[in-house]
Amino acid sequence: MSAPSPLESKPIPPAEGATPALAQWFVAKAAHPDALIFFRMGDFFEMLFGDAEIAAGALDIALSYRGEHRGEKVALCGVPAHAVESYLAKLIRQGFRVAICDQTETPEEQKRRKAPTIRREVVRIVTPGTVTEDSLLEASRPAWLLALAPAEDRLGAAWLDVTTGAFGTEGLAAADLPALLARLEPAEILAPEDLARSPALLMLAERTAHVSPPRDGTRRLAEAYGVSTLEGFGAFTPEEVAAAAMAVDYVRLTQAGALPRLAPPVPSGGRGALQMDGATRRSLEILRSERGDPRHSLLGAVNRTVTAAGARELAARLAAPLAEAAPIAARHDAVDFLLAVQGVRSTLRDTLKGAPDMARALARLSLDRFAPRDLGAIRDGLARAEGMAAALDAVVAAPPVPPLVAAARAALVPADGPRAELARALADPLPARLEDGGLVAAGYDGELDALRRLRDGAREAIAALQMDLAQAWGVASLKIRHHQQFGFLAEVPAAAGEKLLREGAKDGPHAPVHRQTMANAMRFTCTALAELDRRVAEAGEQAAKRERMVAQHLRRLCLAAAPAIAAAAAAMAELDVHAAAAELAADGTWCRPDVTDRADFAVVAGRHPVVEAALARARGPAFVPNDCDLSAGRRLCLLTGPNMAGKSTFLRQNALLVILAQAGLFVPAERARLGLTDRLFSRVGAADDIAGGRSTFMVEMAETAAILNQATSRSLVVLDEVGRGTATWDGLAIAWSVLEALHDRIRCRTIFATHFHELTALAGKLPDLAPAHMQVREWRGEVVFEHRVGPGAAEKSWGVHVARLAGVPRPVLTRAQEVLKALEARARGLDPLSDELPLFARPAAPPPAEAPAANPALAALAEIDADSLSPREALDAIYRLKSLLGPVPPGAE
């Protein structure tokens, strides 16, 4: 594995002459030169040399120097081991990879080996796509690791989420890579070095690791799942298998040979989904706003889920809406059902609130990198699932339970789940770490209970011994304290200690032995104290060891039931989404869309969900709804009118209605009949691509070209101001031809917003074009935007009025008004442009050329067999041909 590293450290000094511990650091750094090495030293993870200089700046921590290596001071900075996750989060967000070089043995084991230093090894590489800690993850978003394997002009793609085990693959054309990247928003990308330099990945270089596909991908993938063939998982292309093996190998590498629980890969992840390119997703702000804020996106506006897993499922549905009528209808049936049974819906949502994330807890358990709360998450999550099942079982009246809800209900309660065992075994409350002890409840394990009694009894004996020593030594203020190196010591004031030293040695188990002198106190031990220390330490160690054994037993129970637990977690997330969609529609202003297989599009009183939510938060005016009819005979809407009147909102809202409907949610409208859309295109707004060297107009033309090349008759296209980025006549010509192509050749449903009023003349010439405009009225010299869509073309654009609203100085406005009047007067003297352009006339074909009259001389010549003529016959033939040619025109000799 190699990656474009953000590390810009000084060259690593040679390893010769290093101390044993430093030699271990050099070994780790040589194996992972592209990563920061977190080197465990006691209670800290230290960074050394150039790593320390970089990490100190990235983490804003102190940089120091300690010791020397080959005549140079060793740069050093560190972070506490107990708080390492927060520092890792900062580094991962900045694009760093971190190799955790941890202690793999105890000091006692080191002593038994008689080794000069404790053993340390790289136990894990932390990368953006392989983290599992909650503090490093976004709870409501998946953390996709995307692997790409090229094959000529195609790519194999595989994406997995180590935190949930989800795994999908797809074979796609190389040109479709930007759309896949926009859909998944991967946390990390794996690609061969040549592919990583492609334009689609160049902007994601900090998230891309250079990895080559394995040669034996099929075998390696089959071994990972313990099968002899992949046929049971589905049909994969060779490049899909290569990408999937790439992803699995990378995860195994980062986890030091371990693999999390991964579901079998699901091939053809994009099949049956509504296709949207990256430009469309950015324009519609589905998961994030253009500024990267999820709150002001479609997801933020419609998310009523109450669990992190439910939010991830909702985001996945909005990112990849369905494109088949039957599964869409099944989702709508589930929402309809939960909308009708309000009491059940409320119970489900109350039960789900605060439910733990079982899927991510399972991932940490499978990697043996778990905390007590992960076992508690399985216990509590399964208990919530049982409560949800009971609520659904209480439904006895109509309507009947739809198939999706019934299937989710069946998955909620695993037949042999570990919930009962976990409920008996786990203490309440649970400790933060396994090392803290107290994970296992009293009464679950008899041997552990006995060890705890011995340990706790010894602690009671400490109090008794403290009283005995205080009496024997004559020091009432004597306290027994624990020292990490010396064990239990009796601490007395300095004066009392001096007296004990002067009195000399005493006989018996209470005879004091001096161990430590401090400023105001002295510490002693004795035979009885040392024996007590040994007993307490042994009992504590044995209890901790037994508790770790019980924890591993409980972990194995969970992993044995992992498929059923994962299914229950998925069912809870699905019910959360359906119940949230029903909650959104409960006020009656959202309706179930009628999704058909025909090319319908008829919306009554539709609204923009994101704008409406923003107005509600700001307690602004009510959103103005609008109808939209793109059905047969009206499938191309030519929308005119001024800016600020709501054209862009109208364009986007109808595209968002399609996404909501095909994702399985209800839509903000009174009624909606929507024909299935296979591809959705939205080109609204203007932006340049400075890094790619493309102007705003070039970006506009590239996006328009994608629409014209990829749209079908089942697509929905919303276009705003095509051609406005160049000269007027150039732009008009482009807009005109694009409009014709959408109407005549592609024949898709389209909303085409424009300021080129010349295009409105096409209304009588293109049979499926229906002009519409944003309604505006003037009142007392002021322009009032009604935000309503009306039939027919707009009278004018009111651009000068909008400039005034924006604060353009009055002299400039006055001059603009004068120029506008002059231009309008000149335009009235021109013939209508539509009469000048032969819209439907084809270039007249030239008349077929008349066949030349047959020449008798040529006919006679063709009949002559020159090889058989005698000289006399040849001369006669020439005279005959000459006579057939007739007289020679003057001047032709």
Give the model confidence (pLDDT) of 474-491 as tens digits: 999 999 988 777 888 999
- List pLDDT tens digits, range 42-84: 889 999 999 999 999 999 999 999 888 888 888 999 999 988 9
Q: What average pLDDT does the segment 199-208 reach? A: 86
Q: What average pLDDT does the segment 13-31 reach? A: 83
pLDDT for 505 beyond 70:
no
159 burial (CB, 10 Å; 0-12 / 13-18 / 19+) is buried
Cα within 13 Å of Cα(808), Cβ side: 14
Residue 235 is which amino acid?
A
Q: CA 181, CA 278: separation in Å to the nearest integer?
A: 8
> Pick the residue with more confidence: 97 or 540?
97
Query: Is the N-terminal amide bond of 399 cis, ω within 30° of 0?
Result: yes
Quick one: pLDDT band at residue 844, thresholds 50, 70, 90?
very low
Q: Give the dihedral sign, CA 690/693/695/701.
A: negative
Given strand 671-675, what is the order of strands in its sheet?
594-596, 671-675, 601-606, 626-629
Residues near 508 by beta carbon (within 8 Å), at least 6 away in sequence: 527
pLDDT of residue 713: 93
- From 469, 452, 464, 542, select the one nearest 511 (Cα to Cα): 469
CB distance 381 to 355 below 8 Å: yes
Q: CA 696, CA 706: separation in Å to the nearest integer?
A: 16
The single residue listed with the structure tokens 């104290």 is 529
pLDDT of residue 188: 93
Assess whether 464 and 409 both reside in one domain: no
Q: What average pLDDT does the segment 622-639 reach? A: 92
pLDDT of residue 831: 47
Assess whether 341 and 462 both reside in one domain: no
- How many residues are listed for the chain in this entry? 893
Cα within 13 Å of Cα(143), Cβ side: 25
Q: CA 659, CA 661: separation in Å to the nearest integer?
A: 6
pLDDT of residue 578: 98
Q: CA 167, CA 230: separation in Å to the nearest integer?
A: 14
Quick one: pLDDT band at residue 689, thresholds 50, 70, 90?
low
Supply the DSSP string of 512-566, one letter for each residue. -EEEEE-SSEEEEE-HHHHHHHHHHHHHHHHHHHHHHHHHHHHHHHHHHTHHHHH
Residue 189 is which amino acid?
I
- List pLDDT tens digits, range 570-591: 999 999 999 999 999 998 899 9
Q: CA 218, CA 229: separation in Å to the nearest integer?
A: 8
pLDDT of residue 867: 62
pLDDT for 4 beyond 50:
no
pLDDT of residue 573: 97
CB distance 293 to 195 below 8 Å: no
| DSSP H or E segment with residue 775 | strand 769-779
Supply the DSSP string of 159-216, one letter for each residue. EE-TTT--EEEEEEEGGGHHHHHHHH--SEEEE-HHHHTSHHHHTTGGGEEE-PPPTT
On whether residue 105 sits in a domain, the answer given is yes
pLDDT for 348 beyond 50:
yes
Q: What average pLDDT does the segment 17-32 reach? A: 87
Q: At 787, phi and psi to the nearest 5? A: 60, 25
Structural domain of 68? 20-126
Residues near 732 by beta carbon (within 8 Å), at least 6 away in sequence: 723, 756, 758, 759
Crossing angle (nearest 10°) for helices 856-863 and 871-885: 160
| DSSP H or E segment with residue 40 | strand 36-41
- From 129, 121, 149, select the one nearest 241 (Cα to Cα): 149
170 burial (CB, 10 Å; 0-12 / 13-18 / 19+) is buried
On whether residue 793 sits in a domain, the answer given is yes
3-state secondary structure 740-768: HHHHHHHCCEEEEECCCHHHHHHHHCCCC
**Helix extents (H) in 32-162:** 49-59, 84-93, 107-113
- List pLDDT tens digits, range 84-122: 988 998 998 888 999 999 998 877 788 888 888 899 999
Q: What average pLDDT does the segment 448-466 reach? A: 83
- Structurally, the chain folds into a number of domains equal to 5
On whether residue 216 sits in a domain, the answer given is yes
Assess whether 659 and 786 both reside in one domain: yes
Strand partners of residue 78: 46
pLDDT of residue 270: 52
The top-scoring range by mean pLDDT among 290-294, 383-387, 772-776 is 383-387
Assess whether 166 and 204 both reside in one domain: yes
Assess whether 260 and 312 both reside in one domain: no
On whether residue 6 sits in a domain, the answer given is no
On whether residue 864 sits in a domain, the answer given is no
CATH number of the domain to which 339 belongs: 1.10.1420.10
Domain end among 105, 126, 147? 126
On whether residue 781 sits in a domain, the answer given is yes
Strands 636-640 and 769-779: parallel
pLDDT for 812 beyond 80:
no
pLDDT for 282 beyond 80:
yes
Assess whether 574 and 612 both reside in one domain: no
Assess whether 728 and 604 both reside in one domain: yes
Assess whether 760 and 616 both reside in one domain: yes
The rounded percent of the chain whose pLDDT value lies above 90 is 50
CATH number of the domain to which 55 belongs: 3.40.1170.10
Task: Output the CA–CA distances (angstroms, integers) from residue 716 to 136, 233, 651, 713, 762, in the order listed.
Answer: 39, 34, 11, 8, 21
Q: CA 181, CA 189: separation in Å to the nearest integer?
A: 9
pLDDT of residue 378: 97
CATH number of the domain to which 701 belongs: 3.40.50.300
Task: Output the CA–CA distances (angstroms, integers) from residue 171 to 145, 155, 264, in the order listed.
Answer: 16, 6, 17
pLDDT of residue 833: 54
Q: CA 234, CA 215: separation in Å to the nearest integer?
A: 21
Quick one: pLDDT band at residue 645, thresholds 50, 70, 90?
confident
**pLDDT, mean over the chain:** 86
Supply the DSSP string of 592-611, one letter for each residue. --EEESSS-EEEEEE--HHH
On whether residue 862 sits in a domain, the answer given is no
> Pick the residue with more confidence: 858 or 189?
189
Q: CA 730, CA 735: separation in Å to the nearest integer?
A: 9
pLDDT of residue 629: 95
pLDDT of residue 841: 40
pTM for this model (two decimals): 0.81
Strand partners of residue 675: 596
- List pLDDT tens digits, range 289-318: 888 788 889 999 999 999 999 999 999 999
pLDDT for 642 beyond 90:
no
> Pick the residue with more confidence: 695 or 770?
770
Domain end among 126, 154, 170? 126
On whether residue 633 sits in a domain, the answer given is yes
Q: What average pLDDT does the segment 6-33 reach? A: 76
pLDDT for 203 beyond 50:
yes
pLDDT of residue 774: 87
Quick one: pLDDT band at residue 593, thresholds 50, 70, 90?
very high
Q: Compute the CA torsion angle 41, 46, 48, 50 (nearest 10 deg).
A: 160
Assess whether 261 and 146 both reside in one domain: yes
**Three-point CA angle 92, 97, 100, nearest 5°:** 105
Radius of gyration of the chain (CA): 39
pLDDT for 193 beyond 70:
yes
Domain end among 786, 805, 836? 836
Supply the DSSP string of 462-511, one letter for each residue. HHHHHHHHHHHHT-TT-EEEEETTTEEEEEEEHHHHHHHHHH----STT-
pLDDT of residue 232: 87
Assess whether 325 and 358 both reside in one domain: yes
pLDDT of residue 68: 83
pLDDT of residue 295: 86
Which of these ranges, 220-224, 401-405, 787-791, 863-867, has the smallest mean pLDDT? 863-867
Assess whether 241 and 380 both reside in one domain: no
Crossing angle (nearest 10°) for helices 728-740 and 696-710: 10
Kindly provide the b/e burial profile for residues 384-411, where b requires at least 16 CB atoms within 10 angstroms of the residue's own CB.
bbbbbbebbeebeeeeebbebbeebbeb
Assess whether 735 and 826 both reside in one domain: yes
